[in-house]
């Protein structure tokens, strides 16, 4: 990955950053010069990711963080305040996928009335309530600074109405509504809130290995690296004042080209 100084001095925290989209975004931010905190629930996978960053001489730290646990989130906020004194970018990315409620969701869709209440609650608590809790905890820091940026990761609208995609679809639809309202609540405070999504099925741990083989015959999975360019843009001064937007990574180039200069 090519390094630059675009984000030198910037500080970013990414949830769910030990693999997949979160790891790809963290790598892009660090390669652009930012100091990055990787967070995830599992210490072993976090340490593995952190070792990759340090081997590449990228500025990164790792914190165990459960986005469903307010005490765990508060510890992360306290770490940021104690070690950095502030934060420039929060990326809400941590989530779990349909495989947690139906391992065969791509080949044998399960109707909503067969989804367990426990499975529904667990996914919503992570993918939607987790975004709310983490943002709620860090926004007071942004308000005290008088600035800040939040990026909430989402998915295609097709996912929100696809057969057998409860509760994942509702979790992402809810996160989009949450993002739009957050943007309005924080607009006057000069805190930008935007959404970012890959733009297609992506090669992450949310797709079971067996399903990948079947998918390969129909279409090509996107690389998580598709998120690199737009997340660096959203962390930079070039995005100042842009808020309430839904950016699709596969269409980022055309979106930029269509913006008024």
Catalytic residue IDs: 168
Question: Does residue 100 have a cis peptide bond before it, meaning omega lies within 30 degrees of 0?
Answer: no
Burial 99-124 (b: 16+ CB within 10 A, else e): bebbeebbeeebeeeebeeebbebbb
Cα atoms in the 13 Å half-sphere on the side-chain side of 7: 28
Cα separations (Å) of 31 from 25, 139, 145, 196, 230?
Answer: 10, 26, 25, 19, 14
What's the per-residue H, E or C state across 134-149?
HHHHHHHHHHHHCCEE
Q: Is 181 left (phi over 0), alpha (psi -120 to 50) or beta?
A: alpha
């Amino acid at each position: 990955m090519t390094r630059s100084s675009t984000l030198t001095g910037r500080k970013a925290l990414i949830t769910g950053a030990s693999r997949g989209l979160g790891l790809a975004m963290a790598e892009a931010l660090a390669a652009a010069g930012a100091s990055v905190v990787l967070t995830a629930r599992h210490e072993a996978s976090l340490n593995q990711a952190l070792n990759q960053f340090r081997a590449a001489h990228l500025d990164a730290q790792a914190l165990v963080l459960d986005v469903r646990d307010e005490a765990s989130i508060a510890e992360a906020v306290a770490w940021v305040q104690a070690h950095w004194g502030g934060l420039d970018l929060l990326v809400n990315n941590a989530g779990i996928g349909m495989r947690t409620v139906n391992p065969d969701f791509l080949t044998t869709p399960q109707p909503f009335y067969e989804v367990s209440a426990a499975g529904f609650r667990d996914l919503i608590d992570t993918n939607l309530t987790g975004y709310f809790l983490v943002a709620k905890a860090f926004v007071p820091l942004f308000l005290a600074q008088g600035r800040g940026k939040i990026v909430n990761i989402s998915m295609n609208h097709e996912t929100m109405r696809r057969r057998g995609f409860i509760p994942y679809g509702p979790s992402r639809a809810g996160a989009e509504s949450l993002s739009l309202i957050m943007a309005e609540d924080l607009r006057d405070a000069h805190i930008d809130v935007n959404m970012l999504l890959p733009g297609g099925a992506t090669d992450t741990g949310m797709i079971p290995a067996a399903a990948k083989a079947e998918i390969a015959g129909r279409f090509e999975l996107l690389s998580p690296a598709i998120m690199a360019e737009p997340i660096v843009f959203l962390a930079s001064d070039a995005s100042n004042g842009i808020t309430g937007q839904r950016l699709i990574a596969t269409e980022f180039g055309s979106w930029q080209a269509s913006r008024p200069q």
